[in-house]
Amino acid sequence: MSNALRVLIVRVGAMGDVLHGLPAVAALRSALPDCFIGWAIEPRWRALLQTENASARGREMPIVDRVHLVPTRAWKQQPFSVSTLRQIAKLRRETLGKHYDVCVDLQGSIRSAVIGRMSGAPRFIGTRKPRERQARALYRERLDVGAVNVIDQACELLGAGVGFDLAPATVTLPVEIEAEVWADYLLHQAKSQTALIVPTAGWGAKEWGVAKYCELAANLNRAGMKILVNASSVDDVMAREIADCGGGIVAATTLPQLIALTRRVSLAIGGDTGPVHLAAALGRPVVALFGPTDPARNGPYFPGANVHILRDPSSRTDHKRHAETEAGLARISVEDVTAAALSIKL
């Protein structure tokens, strides 16, 4: 077996959180090209790390060498089923078999800490103040993290694991050929600049509201932009309403398709949500609307990103999953968002 360092990353989801961990791992790949890097992730987010049939590092897997699929959502639904127990045992055999030297938990939850501990890595590192404090007991090493933004925090944790400082590096995402062809076909008639509107988020408090997005779509369309609206499904009524207001189209996508489509848009607009962070990671201009989450911590500040953050001074940080739009976010005007979008040099 090679003497190259072997590192396991545990960050099972969600989209934005996985993306926030990638600049640190990209920095490690650049600094130690021969390092063997594994990542434990939910199956639904694997396209951020590898193409469907990837088997080796390269164009198909630009950053990691091995993806360990961790279907925790399914396990939660049937925690004591034979299938779940077999999958957990399989994951343990997989990670033990890779003989990782270091495991770094970038999630800070009980489930991620259990997964990391199962790997058998002699060094298992997490923050001293994880998101779920019970996770701390499972770490072999606990680090006081000084950075504010989660991207920089990941660099601190991973840097502690490998023994040298890491600075966020540019992210390269996999290229799924079929998805790229699909995106080309979807946009082949778009002769003008294209704005991707992302109206939904993880919970209602982070959503600006359909009426405002409708007005924004109409404004941008009048300014000559083609409107795309990210949809959760083909039956997404909110996305359809916004698209109709802007004379645009609804894009209900798989994750590989969303990646391919986002590579081609001129601009992305939305709240603190995965597709907006994806756009920033891919180097697309972004107008991000923040309310209950703090952009200093959660902002999509990827290397080279062109990001315009809007947050009303009255907004207060609150991670409770309220259903109604946060009051400060609701105060952000359509005029201000339109002006921010049109001011970005595309």
pLDDT tens digits in sequence order for the chain, 346 residues long: 568 999 999 999 999 999 999 999 999 999 999 999 999 999 999 999 998 665 444 445 679 999 999 998 888 888 889 999 999 999 999 999 999 999 999 999 999 999 999 999 999 999 999 999 999 999 999 999 999 999 999 999 999 999 999 999 999 999 999 999 999 988 886 667 999 999 999 999 999 999 999 999 999 999 999 999 999 888 899 999 999 999 999 998 899 999 999 999 999 999 999 999 999 999 999 999 999 999 999 999 999 999 999 999 999 999 999 999 999 999 999 999 999 999 997 6
Task: State the Cα angle at 42 between 36 and 43, rounded to 5°.
Answer: 95
- Edge to edge, what strands does the sheet with 141-143 contain? 66-69, 36-41, 6-10, 102-105, 123-127, 141-143
Structure tokens, 187: 């946009």
Q: Around 276, how many Cα atoms within 13 Å sit in the side-chain half-sphere?
A: 26
> How far is 232 from 221, CA to CA, in rounded Å?
22
Domain spans of the chain, in order of start: 6-162, 177-343
- Token digits of residue 213: 């997005």
What DSSP element (H or E) covers 268?
strand 267-270
**Residue with token string 């959180």:** 17
Q: Where are the alpha helices (DSSP H) in the chain?
A: 15-31, 72-77, 82-97, 110-118, 150-162, 177-187, 210-222, 237-245, 255-264, 274-281, 295-298, 327-331, 334-343
* CATH code reported for the domain at 6-162: 3.40.50.2000
- Please tell me if the domain spanning 6-162 has the same topology as the one spanning 177-343: yes
Measure the CA–CA gap between 194 and 230, rounded to whole angstroms: 13
Cα–Cα distance, 190 to 137 (Å, whole number): 54
First-to-last C-alpha distance (Å) of the chain: 48
Prediction pTM value: 0.95
Was domain 177-343 assigned CATH 3.30.70.2740? no
